[in-house]
Structure 1
Amino acid sequence: MRYSDFRIGNLVLHATTVTKVVAIHEDGIVVKHSEKYPSAKLTIQGIREIAVDESWFLKFGFAKVRDYPCFRIDGIQIEYDGSSSEWKADLFSGRTSIKFVHQLQNLFFALTGKELTINK
């Protein structure tokens, strides 16, 4: 995991709390828990990636399109590949694996130019 893997707005874990990346520096990532708490600057060792599962697709507003795990939003379809136990998206260059929430957010932004945020 590197600082360059993240973008402002990505969701990560700090301890056991889901936090949002609000700034990225050469020596750390600044995260914000909520409006009630101040932001915190962390090293890469101070954060953890959030594993993607079906609940995250639903939180982001994806629609389930089949009986097996397959989700779609804005023309992007992501399916669970049971043989590799990974979520996969078919892209022009082939299939890409999505293991973490920030990867899903970054892929969505790269393909649509829009931020992927949790639906309220």
Structure 2
Amino acid sequence: MKVTDLRIGNLFIDKYSKKIIPVLELLRNGNIIFDIEYFGIWQAEPIPLTENWIEKLKFDHNHWATKWILYDMPTPTGIKYVHQLQNLYFALTGEELTINN
């Protein structure tokens, strides 16, 4: 994953605690600053795009066709991770996706 593929606010998951951690800042040297509230061992990983995440991002049954077109899109152009869907949605609408708890 390249830093140029990311945006501030993209969501990742900590490999160890399984907490959701958003990107806070993208540095010119290629480093990524995450909004993480504890110290110790942690590792940010992309969140696989699952049906559960699609629903959390407010794609409901009224968006069924859109949901499955995005979800089943073949690789390498396919959307496999939550941050990729966030970026595509923003590029198409100019709005951020929010999580539906």
Whether these two folds match at TM > 0.5 is: yes
Q: TM-score normalised to the size of structure 2? A: 0.76
> 5+ unaligned residues in a row in structure 1: which ranges?
90-95
Q: Which residue of 2 aligns with 1:61?
A: 58
Gaps of 5+ in 2: none
How many pairs are equivalent? 94
Find the aligned partners of 2:26 and 2:91 in 1 and give their Cα distance. Answer: 18
What are the Cα deviations for residues 35-80 of structure 1, in whole angstroms up to 9, with x where unaligned? xx269xx9xxx42111000111111111124xxxx736xxxx1316
Amino acid at match of 1:88: M
1:12–1:50: 8 Å Cα contact kept in structure 2?
yes
Moved more, 107-116 or 12-21: 12-21
Q: Paired residue for 1:78, among 52, 58, 67?
A: 67
Corresponding letter in the other structure for 2:20: V
Q: Any idea what the Cα deviations from partners look like across 1:8-30, whole Å, max 9, x if unmatched?
A: 01001223321000101123111
Q: Distance in 1 between matches of 2:7 and 2:84?
A: 10
Cα separation, 2, equivalents of 1:28 and 1:17: 20
Q: Does the CA-based 8 Å contact 1:32-1:38 persist in structure 2?
A: no
Aligned pair in 2 of structure 1 residues 48, 79: CA closer, same or farther (>3 Å)?
same
The equivalent of 1:24 in structure 2 is 26
Over the matched positions of the two proteins, sequence identity in percent amounts to 36
Structure with the higher strand share, 1 or 2? 1
RMSD of aligned residue pairs (Cα, Å) = 2.7
Answer 1 or 2: which has greater helix percent: 2
Bigger Rg, structure 1 or 2: 1
Is the aligned partner of 1:47 residue 2:24? no
Q: 1:105 is matched with which residue?
A: 86
TM-score where L is the length of structure 1:
0.66
Report how far residue 100 of structure 1 moved: 0.3
